[in-house]
Structure 1
Amino acid sequence: MPNQIVRYATTDGAGAGVGLRDGDTGVVRALAAPSLAALLREGSAALRKAVESPGDEVPGARLLPPVDGLTEVWASGVTYLRSSEARQEESQVADVYARVYDAARPELFFKSPAWRVCGDGEPIGVRVDSDIDVPEPELALVCDAHGDIVGLTICDDVSSRSIEGENPLYLPQAKIYSGSCALGPGIAPIWEIPDPAALSIAVTVLRDGDVAWSGQTSTARMRRGFAELVEYLFRQATFPDGAVLSTGTGLVPDLDFCLAPGDEVVVEIEGVGRLANPVRSATREAFGWLTPAPDRHAA
């Protein structure tokens, strides 16, 4: 397991902190920063300085989603051939996805504010008004406020294939709802990853102790480069607390597969980490713990 920049809470109720988690021991050491958002606001030099000089061990640290403040989560679509094929299979307007795969401009869409993100071990949700729901395991780029890629994390871009397939204009409903975005468990510093463009990505969906679906791919199969995606995201927008940009999925099950409450989704990315989440129905009652928004993880 790599070293990771993490957010954490402690049992004394002192509030959320930011630290460095040792990949071998799991020990979390505090970083000299009020928040992760503050580090992303200052930029890559400040982040690297903090990571290279961790402080004291934090006993009893409980990991939180690695995103806070005004940091936004965005996502890329149709960046792998498999994703293009799957979108065409499900869609009543298949030509849209064939065209965007080859287009100069990438598909980018808003995924989640920081407060709605689920962390490692926390439940993710499937819509009750959807017939086909799937995990979308993706490598996510953590960018500072200046648009520099400073780290990598794992994103599960949980999605409704049936809603998006009915009409591409329903994309926000298929992609943005309670429990639809999981990140974590932490952020691997980009300078510690030898080749981010050639990382293996694996996903397993467990159901009643058995493997219901699994798959494996590599970021080497992406059609678009990381710098290109980030440039388009930052081209006409500012992100004062940085941004997380998920880079799209190359792993999509056949149309006869659907996530179900009680499943567990496990995503592993070489050199980045392992993200595991149980599945629930995305009802208001099941995900009421996501709010009140800014301070849900303060204790």
Structure 2
Amino acid sequence: MTLGLPANGTFVGRVWRPDRDGPALIARRGAEAVDITCRDVPTMQALLDRDDSAAFAAQAPGESLGSLEALAVASIETPEGAHLLAPCDMQPVKACGVTFVSSMLERVIEEQAKGDPARALAIRERCTAILGDSLRAVEPGSDKALKLKEVLIADGVWSQYLEVGIGPYAEVFSKAQPMASVGFGASVGLHPISTWNNPEPEVVLACDGRGHIKGATLGNDVNLRDVEGRSALLLGKAKDNNASCAVGPMLRLFDDSYGLDDVRNAELTLTVTGTDGYVLNGRSSMSQISRDPEDLVAQTCGEHHQYPDGFFLMLGTLFAPTEDRDVPGEGFTHKLGDVVEISEPALGRLANTVRLSTECPPWRFGTSALMRNLASRGLL
């Protein structure tokens, strides 16, 4: 599994250095990973808070850690030496749900099925017959959306997912605490209570402490369909578990070669390869998102809510797997050992192997551990 990064662009990330007993901030220089950690910029949070983030990353002196692709190979599942980490550190990872029509309908189906995949097919057919593609042209929060809401209530299919899908307020929830996300090559975790689940390939924005968008990367917002389908109040259990948030492979900073319009036009591809030979292919096109990325950032951060250390924001996905894997009518669900690859030409490839959250390496290195480590290295 390679990182698949394009030749151009300003890419930064994080690496675990056993010889430092902690993480380092890296920048891509040609084919090499260069450690640019310094007292002025000891963390990704500090880098993103600079006005000249991209310029600093491109020019800062540092120590070569060798081939970036060699680091990628060394990062698969149970690394013993230097390996890639998720590019976020001090920032919490927030996530937006129900931002695409297709995935919105699947959330409605999950709710109506009460987490039972066997009931989903009949409910999907009924919802499609009523809704069709009529939601695609609806602007969330508009007068047309409010009128459509009245029609759907009368037809008995109104849902809290439609409320955030076409209503004025986006769904924004906490996906992972600072330092909890896993990176390229790591195991990604499913809570063992789940029997119906899937990957969610997404673009992830990196925002600084003022709410400014500084770059983008890829993410897997692992989804437990049965758990969330039983009740939206179980969203925390469905979304935030050990190793359930993957981000990477590296963060592409906004510069003259890449910006927000490129995010708006991003085309993600997904491949799930099972140990049984099963292969699932999917895609998520950002051009079909119903809320603009800037609007989603504004709904996350502003006078109503501040993030002084910045935040990473998953933008949601178009991907909603309905293809049967085993049992007819029950759609897709993961099997342990599945390899999930999420790719985008401008952002590279994020690859992870599916395990149970209880079998993934436990999360031990949190924010306090990071502060102690940086202090011991004279970086604070």
Shift of 1:296: 7.8
Q: CA–CA distance in 1 between the matches of 2:313 and 2:159?
A: 25
Instruction: Kindly state the Cα deviation for residue 11 of structure 1 after the two structures are TM-superposed.
Output: 4.3
Q: 2:179 aligns with which of 86, 93, 115?
A: 115
Describe how 1:67-216 pairs up with structure 2 within 5 A. Answer: 67-69=88-90, 71-92=91-112, 95-191=159-255, 192-193=257-258, 195-208=262-275, 210-216=277-283
Deviations 1:174-227 (A, max 9, x none): 111112100011100122325221011011111027343110131101011111
Give 1:75 shift: 0.2
Going from structure 1 to structure 2, the CA distance change for 1:237 and 1:205 (only over 3 Å counts) comes to: same
Contact 1:31 1:54 in 2 (8 A): no
| Aligned equivalents of 2:204, 2:15: Cα separation in 1 | 20
Q: Distance in 2 between matches of 1:259 and 1:134?
A: 6
Q: Does 1:272 align with 2:351?
A: no
- Is 1:34 aligned with 2:42? yes
- Counterpart position of 2:309: 241
Q: Is the 8 A contact 1:203 1:214 kept in 2?
A: yes
Identity %: 30
Larger of the two Rg values belongs to structure: 2
Aligned to 2:60: 54
Provide the secondary structure at the position in 2 that maps to 1:290: coil
| 1:8 and 1:19 in contact (8 A); partners too | yes
The equivalent of 1:253 in structure 2 is 321
C-alpha distance in 1 between matches for 2:26 and 2:86: 12
CA RMSD of aligned residues (A): 2.2
Q: Which runs of 5 or more residues in structure 1 are unaligned?
A: none
2-side partners of 1:239 and 1:100: how far apart? 23
State the distance in 1 between where 2:98 and 2:239 align. Answer: 14
CA distance in 2, matches of 1:29, 1:288: 25
Secondary structure of 1:220's partner?
Answer: helix
Whether the aligned pair in 2 keeps the contact of 1:127 and 1:133 (CA below 8 Å) is no
Once residues 191 and 87 of structure 2 are traced to their aligned partners in structure 1, the CA distance between those partners, rounded to angstroms, is 24
Q: 2: CA distance between counterparts of 1:205 and 1:99?
A: 31
Amino acid in the other structure paired with 2:64: V
Change (3 A) 1:289 1:128: closer
Greater fraction of residues in strand: 1
Contact 2:32/2:64 (8 A) holds in 1: no
Contact 1:20–1:31 (Cα < 8 Å) also in 2: no
Further displaced range: 249-258 or 24-33: 24-33
- Structure 2 runs not aligned, ≥5 long: 67-81, 115-157, 323-329, 375-380
- SS of the residue corresponding to residue 362 of structure 2 reads helix
In structure 2, what is the equivalent of residue 228 of structure 1?
295
Query: Segments of 4+ in structure 1 off by > 4 A?
Result: 296-299
Count of residues paired in the alignment: 293
